[in-house]
Amino acid sequence: MLLRAILTAVLLSTLATPIMAAAVPDQSTGVVAPDKSPISWTRAVNTRPGREAPDLMERLRDGFGMPDLNNELVQKYQNYYMQHPAAMRRLLDNGRRYAYYVLEELERRGMPSELALLPMVESSYNPKALSPARAAGLWQFIPSTGRSYGLSQSWWEDNRRDVVSSTGAALDYLSYLYSLMGDWHLALASYNWGEGSVGRAVAKNQAQGMATGYDDLRMPAETKNYVPRLQAIKNILRDPQLVAQMNLPVLPNRPYFESVALYGKHIDLDTVAKLANISVDEVKALNPEHSRPVMKVETINLPKDRVSQFKSNLNAYQESEKPLSRWGSYTVQPGEKAERIAGKFNMSLSQLQEANGVSMKSLSKPGQPLLVLSNPAAEQTPGAASLTSLNENTPVNVAETPDKPASKAIPAHADAVSTKTKASTAKEDKSSKTQKSNKSEKSDKTPKTTKPEKSAAKTTSASSSKPAAKTATGSKPATKPTAAQKK
């Protein structure tokens, strides 16, 4: 009896003690949140008061969860934006189509809302931004890492520019970096410089008995400026009075776009614009991944208030048996000149070249498949075929004419916010070249690592951007981990 009583007491005391459940990886990232996470990691519907606010900035403020950084660089960037409110207005205006979606995804994952400001630093919220290191999109993926994260790139489209796909990949990578570093500032430094580089800098400080915080590490000038730029933007936007004083635009707290299923149909950009009663530029802005004047897509993004009209018009259009695309495929015949091909399909030479994205020489290459405007006579023309004969990688020699980066934008304040080693723009360029020379260093990750590093400092080109440009220093290993990967 005594033994039974003892066993019963032990059992009851065990049941009374809270059982610590094993950490469960987030399903979208495959990583476990560290104990020091400043926010909830669960995928729960956001219930903060700001969620129902009419202004997206109020909702954004409610989700701030990162510790603040306070140093001279933060103050310099903040002073610049306060003295140049037009720069801040451009950043917000660029983000008006996309910021709501990014914030929704952050809240769904339980991540701090400051990350919705990161595309302002990376690309000025310009999905068409392209750096000299060929990093592209809102989140600036380099080609190899984009492919590692499932962001395919072909002659037809570049999904690094896809707002929906690239946002998912970027948040996957940031989640991984935070689980690795346990500190958001170091996670952001890793996003810019690469987790291997940050890890080595931390290890070096540890070996010397030094602190290992963001301000304590020796980093490239761009990475040193990276988080201060984000913090400066945060400081301004979290102050409603300062926002009003700078006359910054109000971003409505409602979705700007909605995805509409097209089930793999070929459809022209201008046909979409016509059916939705919007401009072709608006179609391109919401679907920036598409490189050609005709798309083959499963879904397309449209302004939410035009979705109903588009669906109705699309149904009527298809019932009338009108073609959704005016484009077809043509194979260059031996001895044909580009001028003759263009004339055969009632196209200008520049129109033919722009539609195909190849050099003038390639337009006359025998066997080269080309995108051409449909012509009744094309069916009797040797080499003419339906659009479906163009596969995702045509034309075959697209590598002859790689995308040209937009002109590098270096703002007037670049020197003012640089570190002491950057006394002039010339020095900044020299530093950029030095960083680029370290490109191979970024790929020294051991096979045990489950995620590739993001490319280091990149020069983001966005014509509407005022913040300082960035220079790439490397690329990531092509090793693909079990979870989604980025940059």
3-class SS of residue 251: coil
Predicted TM-score (pTM) of this structure: 0.73
Residue 359's pLDDT band, with cuts at 50, 70 and 90, is confident
| Per-residue pLDDT, 392 | 54
Higher pLDDT, 349 or 382: 349
Percent of the chain predicted with pLDDT > 70: 67
104 is an active site residue: no
**Catalytic residue chosen out of the listed positions 105, 122, 195, 336:** 122
371's enclosing H/E stretch is strand 369-373
Tell me the per-residue pLDDT of 127-157, one tens digit each, with 9 for 90 and over. 999 999 999 999 999 998 899 889 999 989 9
Quickly state the pLDDT bin for 263 (edges 50, 70, 90). Answer: confident
Q: What is the mean pLDDT of residues 441-459?
A: 41
Pick the most confident of 29-38, 288-297, 359-368.
Answer: 288-297
Question: Under 8 Å CB-to-CB from 263, ≥6 apart: which residues?
Answer: 298
Please, which residues have CB within 8 angstroms of residue 359's CB and are 6 or more apart in sequence? 353, 400, 401
Mean pLDDT in residue range 304-325: 94
Highest mean predicted confidence (pLDDT) among 25-29, 282-286, 458-462: 282-286
Say if residues 474 and 439 touch (Cβ distance below 8 Å). Answer: yes
Per DSSP, helices labelled H in 238-304 are 240-245, 269-276, 280-286
Structural domains of the chain in order of their starting residue, each with its CATH number: 49-251+409-443 (1.10.530), 257-319 (no CATH), 327-400 (3.10.350.10)
- pLDDT tier at 361, thresholds 50, 70, 90: confident
Q: Quick check: 9 pLDDT over 80?
A: no
DSSP-assigned states of every residue in 62-128: HT--SPP--SHHHHHHHHHHHH-HHHHHHHHHHTTTTHHHHHHHHHHHT--GGGGGHHHHHTTT-TT
Q: Please report, for residues 114, 168, 181, 251, 462, the alpha-carbon distance to residue 107 in angstroms, rounded to integers and kept in the order given.
A: 11, 13, 21, 17, 27
SS3 452: coil
**Model confidence over 380-395: pLDDT tens digits?**
455 555 555 455 555 4
Calpha distance 77→228 (Å, rounded):
7
